[in-house]
Structure 1
């Protein structure tokens, strides 16, 4: 496996990794670079796909990758090493039996200790390539817990950020990023949902999207034990 991919856990059924920020998970027509999918196929367990064994089509098409993280989000991600494990974990995600915990650095002071966001998401009618909060969108629920405020001095100005824990109950595209932006706390370094003025401040302090998938908990497909996996916080988050 490529040296940039940190392995958190592995057995004969699953592989859990710490995905670095900047790595695209799935191949697409809009991405020409090497993806996590390529790495798993070329350098790791999915070399067996070349053997001609008749495997589940979706398992092959997704190279065993059960779920996604945005390109610039880092953290815990699980891949299945068998079609049976893939189908089991996909069902667990669909039925929302998976627990996910993220850490984010967001703009401005978060006043409330706990915020629960219930805001449906769908295509932005004005900018179809973006996702937005829309009344007729798919249900999306996110819980936010304040960890601490941080004041950073920059050119004689004090910039306030807040470190938060994020617990998404659903898994919509860009859900965490949009929900936080919608309540006035866009994630630092978010090139899609931050204003240009905020991004100019961020680029002096952060070199990435400040969103990290820290914990992922799920039932193991074979042992049926509920397991929790952690991707330690990158140094950029130790504010």
Structure 2
């Protein structure tokens, strides 16, 4: 049974004067400002042991306690949805997820997800992720295609999660970005957090963001666009999309972070999780998998290539 989470925070000098609801909403990706405000009203947020209002201005050294209520569990039904399975054994399944498929259910979106499909395909999935995320070790965005792994038992889940935390999982993406990247190799080392101005977005947030590192190399240039390979060292929400925008090269087709609303005949951002490598949780053998680019992205690349000739 899920229990409430208790978070203890000591306010730094840099955050003095910040409203507590805005401050807390920016700290964690999963904490919306609306949720924080409801916790404050329910007296789940204490400052120096006392309940406060949402407009309370923080002081250096304030001790903030946040008691996050357990999530409301939804029931998830198996659905017979075809899966492109790249690898499967008694411990792990790796799927080449199509663009447009959500990884796990959420309120208002409880069917047609990868979890629904996995429940129908697999006899067992690990229970660590709870009812909503059985087997899910990591995520990729709805409109990003490519390789994603799930665990069939708790031991496999713990091993794969530990490898992700240690940054020993190989995750390489292919992305088509706007503009001509002049250098062949680069690294973006910039913390990512919830955008305080647009709650549905992430942004580079030097003060409240979490460490995020993306390495990239140029595959091909098309004059007004560049095809790049990105390797994740960390795995923050929307990391590649945010980092490429941060250096002035947002992803082609990105409905959230791109500077243009032009349609390119692709659903969402031109991003594909091409390579996934990990140590098998039972045998220790290194598994390395690669998924070809989907047809929509291949077509988009051909179009940009023909324009640049």
**TM-score above 0.5, yes or no:** yes
Instruction: State the Cα distance separating 1:58 from its structure 2 match.
Output: 2.9
Instruction: State the Cα distance separating 1:116 from its structure 2 match.
Output: 0.8
Structure 2 residue matching 1:146: 3-state secondary structure: strand
Q: 1:45 aligned to 2:122?
A: yes
Q: How far apart, CA to CA, are the structure 2 residues paired with 1:56 and 1:208?
A: 31
**Of residues 133, 148, 153 in structure 1, which corresponds to 2:204?**
133
1:49-81 CA-to-partner distances (Å, cap 9, x unmatched) read 7xxxxx744365421121100000000111111
Instruction: State the Cα distance separating 1:30 from its structure 2 match.
Output: 4.0
Which shifted more, 136-145 or 55-64?
A: 55-64
Structure 2 contact 127–153 (Cα < 8 Å) conserved: no
Structure number with the higher strand fraction is: 1
1:145 paired residue number: 217
Q: Over alpha carbons, which structure has the higher Rg?
A: 2
Q: 1:226 aligned to 2:286?
A: yes
**Of residues 9, 21, 24 in structure 1, which corresponds to 2:99?**
21
Q: 1:101 aligned to 2:172?
A: yes
Higher relative contact order (CA 8 A, sep 6+): 1
Q: How far apart, CA to CA, are the structure 2 residues paired with 1:14 and 1:176?
A: 25
Q: Which runs of 5 or more structure 2 residues have no equivalent in the other structure?
A: 1-79, 302-309
TM-score if structure 1 supplies the norm length?
A: 0.86
**Of residues 172, 181, 189 in structure 2, which corresponds to 1:118?**
189
Instruction: State the Cα distance separating 1:91 from its structure 2 match.
Output: 1.1
Instruction: State the Cα distance separating 1:216 from its structure 2 match.
Output: 0.5
Q: How far apart, CA to CA, are the structure 2 residues paired with 1:185 and 1:33?
A: 34
Q: Specify whether residues 194 and 15 from structure 1 end up closer, same or farther in structure 2 by C-alpha distance, changes over 3 A only.
A: same
**Of residues 5, 23, 31 in structure 1, which corresponds to 2:109?**
31
Structure 2 residue matching 1:58: 3-state secondary structure: coil
2:59 paired residue number: none
Structure 1 contact 142–168 (Cα < 8 Å) conserved: yes
Q: Specify whether residues 57 and 78 from structure 1 end up closer, same or farther in structure 2 by C-alpha distance, changes over 3 A only.
A: closer
TM-score if structure 2 supplies the norm length?
A: 0.67
Q: Which runs of 5 or more structure 1 residues have no equivalent in the other structure?
A: 50-54, 152-159
1:178 paired residue number: 242
Aligned residues between the structures: 219
Q: How far apart, CA to CA, are the structure 2 residues paired with 1:207 and 1:56?
A: 32
2:36 paired residue number: none
Q: Specify whether residues 112 and 33 from structure 1 end up closer, same or farther in structure 2 by C-alpha distance, changes over 3 A only.
A: same
Q: How far apart, CA to CA, are the structure 2 residues paired with 1:186 and 1:112?
A: 16
Structure 2 contact 128–154 (Cα < 8 Å) conserved: no
